[in-house]
Amino acid sequence: MQFAVIGLGVFGRACAFELQRQGNEVLGIDLDEKEVNKVSDVLSLAVIADATDKETLQELNFSQLDGVMVCIGDNLEASLLCTLNLINLPVPNLWVKAKTDAHHDILESLGVKNIIHPEQDMGIRIAQAMNYPVMKQYLSLNGESYLVRIDIPEDWTPQSIASIRNNHPSTSLVMIIRAKEMIRVFEDSWIVEHPDSLVFSGLLPDLKRLAKSFIPPRTPDKW
């Protein structure tokens, strides 16, 4: 597949590198020659160009790409003009980084469906990781529904799958990861323990309660 990332700052560069690592052809664009030089040896193609110029986007065949990520976060005018040009081409699978709530609202009014807030999203993820340390990865399915991976702590008392299911009937155990093997078919009598990982699906409040059950109680430290 072919993708383009416009704006090669820290976030844009990370997105471009990951798309390339997954076996795609990736075009990176930035006005800053230094930023382009940072990715030229990694990406399929990296060019110094003005993405607010519609003719430039047409010359680079943006309408033929499988997806475009706009990572111009600091220059609101440039981000909006670039986005508008991409919409008018048009391009499929458009993603845009929003710096502020106002930026988000304008993008939404333009019809952009995939709007991301990297700093805000990362802050939420870090806070959740601190609050629920056993919940290592999660994926939003729709609304409040999530898919999460929970790593069994060393000091957790081994339990059967039946026991976990009975205590948390609102969640569904999707997979057990044991010795790097992903097991999708298992019996209720199976015992799970460290270093197993469990993948659950369910509503976020139910998954939070589930995550807490894997954290052994601690005696409060005296200050």
CA-based angle 207:210:211, to the nearest 5?
90
pLDDT, tens only, 149-188? 888 888 889 999 999 999 999 999 999 999 889 999 889 9
Exposure string of 159-182, with b = 16+ CB inside 10 Å and e = fewer, is: bebeebeeebeebebebbbbeeee
- Is 3.30.420.40 the CATH classification of the domain at 2-116? no
Helix (H, G, I), strand (E, B) or coil at 2: strand
pLDDT in tens, 79-118: 999 999 999 988 888 999 888 888 888 988 988 888 887 7
Confidence check: pLDDT of 130 > 60: no
Identical fold, 2-116 and 132-213: no
Q: Architecture of domain 132-213 in CATH?
A: 2-Layer Sandwich (3.30)
What is the four-CA torsion angle of 139, 141, 142, 145, rounded to 10 degrees?
-80
pLDDT at 163: 93
pLDDT band for position 223 (cuts 50, 70, 90) = very low
pTM: 0.63
From residue 98, alpha-carbon distances to 57, 94, 145, 148 in Å are 21, 13, 24, 26
d(CA 213, CA 209): 7
pLDDT, tens digit, for every residue of 150-160? 888 888 899 99
